[in-house]
Every structure is written in structure tokens, then in C-alpha cells.
Structure 1
Amino acid sequence: MIRSARTIVSSVLVVQALVYPADFAEAFQTGSFLAAKRPLPLPARSLFERNLHSVKHATSLRRPCAVQLTSQVDLLPAVAPALQAVLGGVSSLSGAAVLCGVVAFHEAGHFLAAKVQGIKINDFCIGFGPKVFGFKDRDGVEYSLRLLPLGGYVSFPEAQPVSSEMEGPGSRSDDEKAEEEDGRPAVKYDIDDPDLIQNRPALQRAFVISAGVLFNMLLAWGAIFGSVTSNGVAIPVLDRGVVVSSLVDGKGAGARYGMKPGDIIVEIDGKDIGKSEKAVAELVQAVKKSSGRSMKFVVKRAEGLVPLDVTPDRVRSGDGVIGVKLGPNVIVSSNAKPKGVAEAVVMTNQQFVTLTSETFFGFGKLFTHFKDSVGNLAGPVGVMQMGAEAGKQGTILAFIALISINLGIMNALPIPALDGGQLVMVLVEAIRRRPLNSEVTRTVNGAFLAILLGASLTLLVGDLERLIPASLK
């Protein structure tokens, strides 16, 4: 006997471990999101430190998605929230549209990879929860848009043998019940049906799983190409000083002694910081060696130069810290536009490699310094705000590239419920020459999917909390 089941390749827009600076929105105000590659010594910060340059100073950001053969999940990125942008009406729709569009493109990769190989498909869905609208094509594939923008999925029919002792005449599988709850009659498939994904060779299944990430990278490359040809690539130039990008610790030494986000530190203990590419690293080392000792800073603000006496706090290692995030003082002098298609391709490749490598760097920072990075995570509302800001500043193509690269890399991580985790399972099956225990893989994938969804909802709550004015808290 057989019963119906469903294999799901999903994209859970579970917030993609996005690390962002509190003043990220300013990065879009230059009108030039991408910057020429230049070896700037940056401390462990966020993804786009080299690529987002404000006329005032450099800002940064990072992001991430997911899939699984039985439950494929795509995570969604996140950024700094802003009530004005969220309530910005039409502008906010651009952020939501980009978010859904990037996820849909990822799912289209899985979908088309299955279609061209003749693999049967049940659903193509964007979002989770109650259905907003949907339709079914002549092949029986249902396309739908769901209420919660937390991801998406492509589901495949699956057949499994069930012994007569285990299944009586009136019994129904969980998948049959689920299909009936969706308003569709349960369809039974022959266990040996060659068009079921479970019966395809490992290489074909791996192609379906990896196609989502591949599509994200292709989309990112295309978006960068469009940005390069239309806006060019910003040429950053170092200016005097080191920028205080944000206050990491509101009760830290920097905040207590008067430092503010946007301050440009131009002198320390009577020594001019200058325009050196090593300025940030040198300042960090000076602070580390000065725990408990008063340091004389001079910061540049709109009203002029302001002297500040700051005594770094001592941490357990004995180093001094002042609780601020620092970055190079970068200005954008001009935009370099390609002279032809060949040059545009070269410039696009350079920017694509830079953004991708910086995203990997951001994930590494998240895993190795989670405690320091967790405060810079945000959820779907934050991403929409960022998209709204990008739309207003004309940097929507760069925003698409950013989100798409993060989504692709996040899904490539070898974690159960993500594309990377599913590929690992396929590889293990190929090595063992027999399938893994389906119940075990379902349980593991389900558990990790629940964790990812929980993380996404937690970050969503964090987004909403940051929208509440401090006076109302």
C-alpha cells in the first residue's frame, strides 16, 4: 500500500542574521551604494563597510536564507528600523516588494530546476499562514501568496510504502489530512513513480536544492550590473579622522563622557589622527592600552571642534574599551562609470566578489562574536524600512543585490532545514548508497525549522519594539 506525503523545499524568511549599524539608512543618502574596492583596514564590523559610504562617514551592514529537501527554508535579512519609513506608505511597499521578489526568485530557482527535469511539484508559495490569493495551473501546481512575509516554499509530492498492519482501510496519513485541510483532495502516488523527487538520482536532487542559491547569486550579479551601468561605482577617499558610527554600549565610557554617533575623532592625546588607512586600528590599540587612564580626545562636530576627556573602562582581559563602534572617515569624491560592456562586466565582477566576501565576513563575525553582534540583528520590518529608504534614494538595485546575496549565503550554510543542510544529506545518502531514515530527517529538519522561525519572530518583535518612542516605553 502507499500513502501520499509532501516534500517541501521552503524558504523561511527567518531573519537572516543581518548585522547592521544603527545609522544604516544614511548609507543610501549618497545616491551611490557601491564603492570602488579599496583596501581599508576595518575592525570586525558589518557587511558593507567598504561599500556603503555616506558623505558624512562610512556605514555598514550584513545579511543572510534557507531550504531543505523535506523542508527547504529561506531566511530573510534585517536592518535598522525607522517608524517614518515603515509608515511611509508607498515607499514602504518598495521594501516589501523587494523582499517578496527576492524570495520568489529564490523559489523560482528550485521550481524551474525541478520543472526542466520533469519532477512533479505540488505548490509554489510565497509567505506563510493564511492564503491571500492563489490559483492552480493545468499541471495541478498551486501558486499562492500567504499573509506572513516570513519566507516561501516549493513542495513536492512524495510516496511511501505503508504495511497493511500499520494502515487500516479507514486510516489517513498526516499529509492526506493536511491536503484536505488546504481544500484539495489527497493525491496518491506510486512508490516507484520516476517523476517523484525522492526517486531521482542524487545529482538531480542536488541540482534542485542548490538552484535557489544559484538564482540568488545570478539576481545579485544582474542587479549590481544594472547599478554599475546606471550609477557607476563610487570612488571613496579617506578624510581626516575616525568616525564614531554608533554607541555599542549606552552606558560605556564613550557615552558617559559625551561621545555621540557621527563624531569624527581627529586628535587623541595631542596626536593628529590624519588620513591614514591604519587610523582605526591605531586608535583601537591606543584605547586598549589605556584602561583606567584619562585620554584627551578632540572630536569634530557641526559646531566645530569639541575636546573630550575619556577614561576607557577595563574589561576582563585587562584591555580598555570605550563602547563605541568606529570606522574610517570616508567621503565619496566621484562616480566611475564603465566605458563599455566589457568594462561594466569587470566592474560588476569586482563588486560582486567584494559584497559576497564581506557577507561571509559578516557571518563569521556573527558566529565568532555572537554576543557583540546580536544587538545588530533585526527582522522583516527592518528590511522593509531599508528597502523603503533605498527606493527613496534611488539605490534599489544595490538593495536587491544586498538582500539576494545574503539570502543565498544564508541558505548555503550546512544547517538542517537550509539548502546547505539538505545538500549535506544528499551527499551522505550518495556515499552510503542508501537513503537516510526519513523519520529522523523530518524530525531534525522540523526542529531546526522551528528554531529558525522562532528566531525570525523574535527579531520581528524586536523590530516593532524599536518603533516605539522611548517616551512611551
Structure 2
Amino acid sequence: MISLIVSFHELGHFSVARLFKTRVERFSVGFGKILLRKRDKNGVEWCLSALPLGGYVKFAGDENITSMMPSPEEMEASRIAITEREGAAAVKDYYHFKPLWQKFLIILAGPAFNFILAIGILTIVFWVMGDSYVPARIMRVVPDSPAAAAGFLPGDMILSVDGRDVRSREDARLMIVLRADTATRFDIDRSGKHLTLTATPRRVALEPGGPNPNATGGQLGIDMNGPEVEVPLNPLQALVAGNAQTWKALDTNLTYISRIFTGKENGNQIGGIVGMTKAAGDVTVAYSQVKAPLWQIAYNLFFTYLQYMAYISIGVGFLNLLPIPALDGGHLAFILWQGVTKKTISAGFQNAAFRIAIVLVLGLMLFAFWNDINNIGLTKFIGGLFS
């Protein structure tokens, strides 16, 4: 999944680069030792490499693996070398000599393709499987809960949470989980009347005794276990639904990250490769234990994997848009800065920013890894061996 997602991300860079007639040396699926290679008529070397955890695009003349902006002296030296080797007309084919707006779009295309991939996958899922959901209608209010204190009643239909539209039980539940210990506005429909209530979800363990006992979130104290609604969708409706689901997932990421920076969450739900692998394994085991024909299990598992792939792609796109120099968002920030100030960013500043970025990215990876092994109970298990 990761190789497919990252390769599609790199295909975004490659496609827009070729649209602007940018010369590309190599497109590799995977990293490390090249196992297979083939050069096309445009001089692009297509490769399959040994480590299947992503891929990369190498632009012609881009000798720096970080793709940092060269200094004016380096640009002039490169211009002279290209002119002597290929003629003055060839200079415009190289990435670093492209207009800033073209470089901006080339870099932006990577994350954009991640969102396009997610929308495409979710569109297929909605088209084939339709849309099924439980309406966000309250069936029961738990006594002495935040919902009871706020005045919620059975029969209330939740219309929006914190200004965000709600249609299903899952929509409402996710927004409540992300607003623990935070006074939150709820717009509801009560027998045809529009009311606004304010409640503060109580922070609780979301999976006590479950696979992720450390995860906490908001709980309102309501039961929305009503009948499920199933709606078949045509291709256009499926596209609309896939697009809405993609941006809803992106909004969820933004909300959670913003709550971390404001001190409202501790970030223990940020996960990495270990957590993603375990989640995929848990899903597979759960489906394998269902008493159903093998074809039906495989069918449901395939579409579950597709949805999982879509959400990982959204995460990859979101992560790459962060303004960190080692990521696409950092390159975009540098290009915007150069466009506004009309000044080239010094090599010293770029090197310093890149080193800081590496520390930040490695720190985030270690934090996610720690969360993963902690959430699956490995740290508790190891601690028990020495207690």
C-alpha cells in the first residue's frame, strides 16, 4: 500500500513536470539497489528498486538529494555547463531554471495526487457498495452525563457539531471524540424546532481493555444506535461522496493536530508504520473469523483495504504539506518566500533549516513508533519481564 501511495505521489510530481517539458532523469518505484530499469524515448529511466517502501523522481541536473535551491553562483555555473554541453535552448528544460510558478505546481502536484487518489478510491467504494449510515438521532441519554446536563433528549437529531455539518452517527461520534474537555456547540432538530445546546464531552478511555487502551477522547453520554440507512449511489453521487469523505478526513487531521498544539491533546493517537500494519492485521483477522462464504470475506476485505489505502493516502498528502524543509511543504514555503521577496534563499540558511527538519521528522517518527509499541502493549509486556 505504501509503495503504491508514494509512487502515485511521485507520479504527480512527474506528470506536472513533464507537462511543463521538464527533463526527468529517473522515476523509481522503491529505494536502494535497482533491480530492473528501462529508458523511454524521452530519456527517462524507469526503475524498480529493492526496498519497496516508496519511490522518487530525479530531475535532470538535480544533484542535491534534498532538492534545495542552488545559489546564484551554482545556477550560473550550471547554466554555463548546460549551454556548453547542449546549447542555450536546453537550459529552459531543467527544473531549477523553470519559472517559480511552474516549480510551485510541480511540487504541489505530489500531495494533490494523494488527495486525488483518495477521492478516486472512495468514489469506487461508494459506487460499488453504496452509502450506508446510521442517522445521528439520539435514542437514549445517559443519566448524569454531559449530554444530560446540557439538556439533550431522546429523539433529538444532531445537525452540526462546532459548526460542522453532521449526517451520521459516525460523523457525530468522531467530532465528539475530538473535543474532549472542550465546550462545544451542538445544533439539533427537536420535533422540527432548531435548537442550539452547549456541552463539554468528558475525556474517557475509548477502548478500555481493547487493542488500544491508551487512546482517550470525548464522550457525551448518548446512544445513537438507530436503524441503518442504505442508499445506492450512481457514479456522480459516488464522486461527490468520495470528495466529501476525503475533505472530512483532512479536516479531522487538522483538528487533531491543532488541538495538540493548543495543549488539548497529548498526541498519543499519532501512529506510524507499526500501528498501520497492526490495524491492517486486526482487520484481516476479524474478517477471517466471520462465518461467511470465502468469496464474500475476500470481497469485503478487499474494499476495506481500499478504504484503508485511501485514508493513508490522505495522511501522506497532509504530512507532505507541512512547512518542513525536508518535505514538499517546505519547498513550497521556500518558493513562496522567493516569489514575495525576489531574493534567493542562502545555502547556509537552507542547510540549517534542512538539519532542523531532519531532527523534527525523525523525532515525529520516533514519537509515532513509541505510540505504536505502547498502544499495542509491547512496552507494558517488556516492563513486566523486569518487574
Equivalent residues in 2 for 1:140-151, closer than 5 Å: 140-141=44-45, 143-147=47-51, 149=53
How big is the shift at 1:395? Answer: 1.6
How big is the shift at 1:153? Answer: 3.1
Alignment partner, residue 81 of structure 1? none
Equivalent residues in 2 for 1:234-245, closer than 5 Å: 234-237=132-135, 238-240=137-139
Counterparts of 1:198 and 1:411, CA distance in 2: 21
How big is the shift at 1:107? Answer: 1.1
Task: From the superposition, tell whether residues 470 and 120 of structure 1 become closer, same or farther in structure 2 (CA, over 3 Å).
Answer: same
Alignment partner, residue 335 of structure 2? 426
Counterparts of 1:162 and 1:340, CA distance in 2: 54
Counterparts of 1:134 and 1:398, CA distance in 2: 31
Coordinate RMSD, CA, aligned: 4.1
Alignment partner, residue 267 of structure 1? 143
Counterparts of 2:367 and 2:327, CA distance in 1: 19
Equivalent residues in 2 for 1:405-420, closer than 5 Å: 405-420=314-329
Alignment partner, residue 197 of structure 1? 95
Verify: 1:118 aligned to 2:21, yes or no. yes
Q: Give the residue type in structure 1 aligned to 2:49.
A: L
Alignment partner, residue 378 of structure 2? 468
Q: Does the 8 A contact of 2:28 with 2:49 survive in 1?
A: yes
Verify: 1:102 aligned to 2:5, yes or no. yes
Task: From the superposition, tell whether residues 464 and 435 of structure 1 become closer, same or farther in structure 2 (CA, over 3 Å).
Answer: same
Q: Does the 8 A contact of 1:134 with 1:144 survive in 2?
A: yes
Verify: 1:397 aligned to 2:301, yes or no. no
Alignment partner, residue 343 of structure 1? 237
Equivalent residues in 2 for 1:280-429, closer than 5 Å: 325-326=218-219, 329-331=223-225, 333-369=227-263, 372-389=265-282, 392=287, 393=301, 394-429=303-338
Alignment partner, residue 114 of structure 2? 216
How big is the shift at 1:349? Answer: 3.6
Task: From the superposition, tell whether residues 223 and 472 of structure 1 become closer, same or farther in structure 2 (CA, over 3 Å).
Answer: same
Residue segments in structure 2 that go unaligned for 5+ positions in a row: 64-69, 162-171, 184-197, 203-207, 209-215, 288-300
For 1:145, what is the secondary structure of its paired residue? Answer: strand
Equivalent residues in 2 for 1:129-144, closer than 5 Å: 130-131=32-33, 133-138=35-40, 139-141=43-45, 143-144=47-48
Q: Does the 8 A contact of 1:412 with 1:419 survive in 2?
A: yes
Residue segments in structure 1 that go unaligned for 5+ positions in a row: 1-97, 168-187, 243-265, 291-300, 302-322
Q: Does the 8 A contact of 1:158 with 1:189 survive in 2?
A: no
TM-score, reference length from structure 1: 0.52
TM-score, reference length from structure 2: 0.63
Counterparts of 1:437 and 1:101, CA distance in 2: 35
Task: From the superposition, tell whether residues 330 and 385 of structure 1 become closer, same or farther in structure 2 (CA, over 3 Å).
Answer: farther
Q: Does the 8 A contact of 1:106 with 1:212 survive in 2?
A: yes
Counterparts of 2:82 and 2:351, CA distance in 1: 20
Counterparts of 1:348 and 1:161, CA distance in 2: 43
How big is the shift at 1:421? Answer: 2.2
Counterparts of 1:344 and 1:287, CA distance in 2: 34
Equivalent residues in 2 for 1:48-127, closer than 5 Å: 98-126=1-29
Q: Does the 8 A contact of 1:429 with 1:435 survive in 2?
A: yes
Over the matched positions of the two proteins, sequence identity in percent amounts to 23
How big is the shift at 1:199? Answer: 0.4
Indicate the larger mover: 134-143 or 422-431: 134-143
How big is the shift at 1:224? Answer: 1.4
Q: Does the 8 A contact of 1:231 with 1:335 survive in 2?
A: no
Q: Does the 8 A contact of 2:10 with 2:110 survive in 1?
A: yes
Counterparts of 2:108 and 2:364, CA distance in 1: 24
2:358 to 446, 449, 457: 449
Structure scoring higher RCO (CA < 8 A, sep ≥ 6) equals 1
CA-to-partner distance for each residue in 1:322-368, whole Å, 9 max, x for gaps?
A: x8642554447334333533333333343334333233222322322
Task: From the superposition, tell whether residues 134 and 367 of structure 1 become closer, same or farther in structure 2 (CA, over 3 Å).
Answer: farther
Indicate the larger mover: 199-208 or 389-398: 389-398
Greater percentage in helix: 2
For 2:266, what is the secondary structure of its paired residue? Answer: helix
Q: Does the 8 A contact of 2:139 with 2:225 survive in 1?
A: no
How big is the shift at 1:109? Answer: 0.4
How many residues are aligned here? 296
How big is the shift at 1:105? Answer: 0.9
How big is the shift at 1:201? Answer: 0.5
Counterparts of 2:320 and 2:116, CA distance in 1: 15
Alignment partner, residue 459 of structure 1? 368
Task: From the superposition, tell whether residues 353 and 119 of structure 1 become closer, same or farther in structure 2 (CA, over 3 Å).
Answer: same
Counterparts of 1:282 and 1:469, CA distance in 2: 26
